[in-house]
Structure 1
Amino acid sequence: MRVADIVESQSFTTTTVALVTSELNERVNVMSAEWTLRVSIEDFLIAAFVGYERETYRMIHSSGEFGISYCSDDQGYLAHIAGNYSFRSQDKFKMAEFKTFPSKHIKPPLIEGCISNFECRVIDEFRTGDHAAFIGKVLAGYYDSEKKPLVFHRGKFHHIGERMKYDRPFD
């Protein structure tokens, strides 16, 4: 195994990609985020980690709610636009023609065509280094079992591979 410095080794983590939607004062934003994950099963909770300098941080902190739409593997372009342009200077929804559908329990819409979507109400917020962790209680969820997730590794988007088979009784 190669020894690397901390900065270089960060690119060797593998994640899914979510589109985080937020709304404040009738203005809607979308941001791509690698750092979203389920953190509880019994109380279905999802954590979204957002940089303090991002407009998304201000919007979620003020509104207390957010949408999570996990990208399918044909949505790399949407993830790129949502992650590389600022809400302060660009209308990302117009740039990439994001298609949305209305949420039932929160104001921000959810993104169509994703593998799964969740409506979240913030129940906790805390500091994790240079990012805020928003813990959202899932109020509603939607999924498309025909879709496959978009995977992010070493700065690039990837398709998920085939399921691995093991010689074990649980397979």
Structure 2
Amino acid sequence: RTLAGSGNAGWKDGSGHSAQFSNPTGIAVDGEGTVFVTDRGNHRVRKITSKGTVSTLAGSGNNAVADGKGAAASLSWPHSITIDPAAKGCLYVSDTFTFRIRRITRDGMVKTIAIGEAELAKKRDPKEPPPESNRVNTLMSLALDPVKDYLYVCEQSNHCIRRLSLASPVVYQRGA
């Protein structure tokens, strides 16, 4: 059974099959049955109610980076999503090609909590420190440990898994 989506790429909020997505990649479900989806091709995070109604939680649709609320925020190729039940259902989203981790509250407020350097995607400089240094690159999957307050991140291009403390989020940059 299809919960939501017409089967054709596009962007449209609405009920069930009238809604449209473009390359959805990440999905998370909260304790109330609300489904959250990273709509990668539309640069948005979408919300699906238990009755199948789709709405946009965050993202302007522009491939850009801006913190803000709802459509005032911009995402760039959001990929993975996870929910923190201990933080009133806050969402964490990997913005893959801008090397950012974004925190989104239930009312759609987007805040960057970790950042890498976009130029790293173009070419990895062999003179730079190894992946163990504080730089992030091509963030893919996320997993949350709400008991210990850690966010685990798979970095595709650095071939590593990072553990970030949510108690004291750090901004990662090359050379930091």
**Normalising by the residue count of structure 2, what TM-score does the alignment of the two structures yield?**
0.24
TM-score normalised by length of structure 1: 0.25
Higher helix share: 1
Larger RCO of the pair (alpha carbons < 8 Å, separation 6+) = 1
